[in-house]
A and B are shown apart, each in its own frame.
Chain A
Amino acid sequence: MPELLRYLLVILGVVLAPLTIAAGLTWGERRLLALFQDRYGPNRVGPAGVLQVLADMIKILTKEDWVPPFADRPVFVLAPAIIIIATYLSFAVIVFAPGIAVAELNIGLLFFLAMSSLSVYSVALAGWASNSKYALLGSLRSIGQMLSYEVFMGLSLMGVVVMAGTFDLGAIVRAQAGLWYIVPQFIGFFIFFIAGLAETRRIPFDLPEAESELVAGFHTEYSGMKFAMFFLGEYVAITLFAAMLTVLFLGGWHGPGSQSTLVALGWFLLKTLALIAVFILIRASLPRLRYDQLMEFGWKVMLPLSLVNLLVTGAVVLWRG
């Protein structure tokens, strides 16, 4: 019975933690952006503006949830649900600390890639179902972008798989006990980081929702709770990518004193939050790319680079036996 109880607690934690971080990020991102740009940001509601999260939630929940009459209703409703489901399911395979995981699959890494490739549908269907020019253009852009960047996102992780010899995320973290993979696999880390920015459609890769040309891209027609799901989905996806970077390259739960589960969880959280802050710093400091630059960069620079990385990693692993 205690075993079952512990398992249920882990599931509850995995459901609540990303949601809490994502909700906190709606405030945290604006505060950090303000800090980087030398202004205040939301600081009126509650201490340092923390209760802004609550105020935003009340605002968005009381707004009218409008489905345009020209939209394809079932698909229009389905689209925002897909992004939440697909990103959330990926958290099921992440190993947060020894024994703290919903499912330690032997194909954990592939499961993550599968779920992230399914989240493309959310954007595609939202744009199509809205039946509006801007939404359709935005979603066409994002399908092209996400499909292209997915190719080398998978390839950049294969270096880690070659070194650890498994797709099991728990085993990958245990293999980093001596040396974090960010050192031997720095190119892989770099490529995966950029692919993560593109997959979450953040600046400088936010062309699908470029407000200066496409109003708001694929979610132009969305309002109320459905819009909030896209918005929250983006923050959950950022949290997911930060957690995956931690697992694959930053040694997961490893750190001084990580024999105790609580300290291990603390290390995991610390690394994830630090990476999220880097994501926000990039948003604060870079301009948006042009679409042809984005595609060219993906296929002509990142893809060959990830192939070379895989080749060299494979050769070195073979040579060292």
Chain B
Amino acid sequence: MTIVFYLSAAVAVIATVLVITRLNAVHALLHLIVSLLAIAVIFFTLGAPFVAALEVIIYAGAIMVLFVFVIMMLNLGPHAAEAERRWLDPAIWVGPGILALILAGEVGYLILRGAAGTTGAAIVGPQTVGVSLFTTYMLGVELASLVLLAGLVGAYHLGRRRGAGEDGEGERTNG
């Protein structure tokens, strides 16, 4: 299991670097999907199969599809790749790069000191997750659902058509 963990962790890191450096938006998204799938495998090796499945269903299978959906409609041409190339100017990525290196150094230090947790200590099944969501973390679940409800109402308000009939190209509100 340890080798699977390190393999998928390496895949996740490499894919994420490619997400940032790809000039084509759809190719970048494909790498992001690979990264999410690798993270799902990491969850699986850590003994959380339920979270792994949800990661694939929700992040890779639903949210990223919506990203692809929007980018497909943008009709990005060669000038988009040019803009992307300008964003990859060293002056822009050196600062975040140094910060990320410090974090990577900390992780390396922790691993070398042997302070990292063991993998796959206990398998957490779907039932355990459900029970703890509806007992220990009840308040958190309720608050999260309130936030989602607010988002839903907001989306409805923004997408609402004013005045025009069923198939008329009605005026959209500005929110």
Contacts and interface: CB of A to CB of B under 8 A. Distances in A.
B154 interface: no
A140 B73 contact: yes
17 contacts: A75-B26, A106-B125, A107-B49, A107-B53, A113-B53, A114-B53, A114-B56, A114-B60, A114-B61, A117-B56, A117-B57, A117-B60, A118-B60, A121-B33, A125-B26, A125-B30, A166-B126
Given A118-B61, A120-B65, A166-B126, 18 more contacts: A72-B26, A75-B27, A105-B49, A106-B49, A106-B126, A107-B53, A110-B50, A114-B53, A114-B56, A117-B57, A118-B60, A120-B61, A121-B33, A121-B65, A124-B65, A124-B69, A125-B30, A143-B65
Nearest to B40: A114
A117 B126 contact: no
Contacts of B73: 140
Nearest to A146: B65
A139 B69 CA distance: 9
B91 to A, nearest CB: 30
Contact of B72 (A107, A110, A111, A124): A124
A72 B24 CA distance: 10
Interface string B30-74: 100100000000000000011011101100111001101100110
Main SS class of interface, A: helix
A308 B60 CA distance: 28
A110 B54 CA distance: 8
Interface of B: 24, 26-27, 30, 33, 49-50, 52-54, 56-57, 60-62, 65-66, 68-69, 72-73, 125-126
A167 interface: yes
Interface residues of A, number: 29
A128 B53 contact: no
Residue from the set B52, B60, B69 with the largest chain A CB neighbour count within 10 Å:
B69
B62 A147 contact: yes
Contacts of B27: 74-75
Nearest to A161: B126
Residue from the set A72, A78, A121, A166 with the largest chain B CB neighbour count within 10 Å:
A121
Contacts of B54: 110
Interface string A272-297: 00000000000000000000000000
Contacts of B56: 114, 117-118
A117 B72 contact: no
B50 to A, nearest CB: 6
Contacts of A128: 26, 68, 72
B110 to A, nearest CB: 30
A139 B73 CA distance: 11
Contacts of A120: 61, 65
A-B pairs with lowest CB-CB distance, top 6: A117-B61, A110-B53, A114-B56, A114-B57, A128-B72, A107-B49
Contacts of B72: 124, 127-128, 136, 139-140
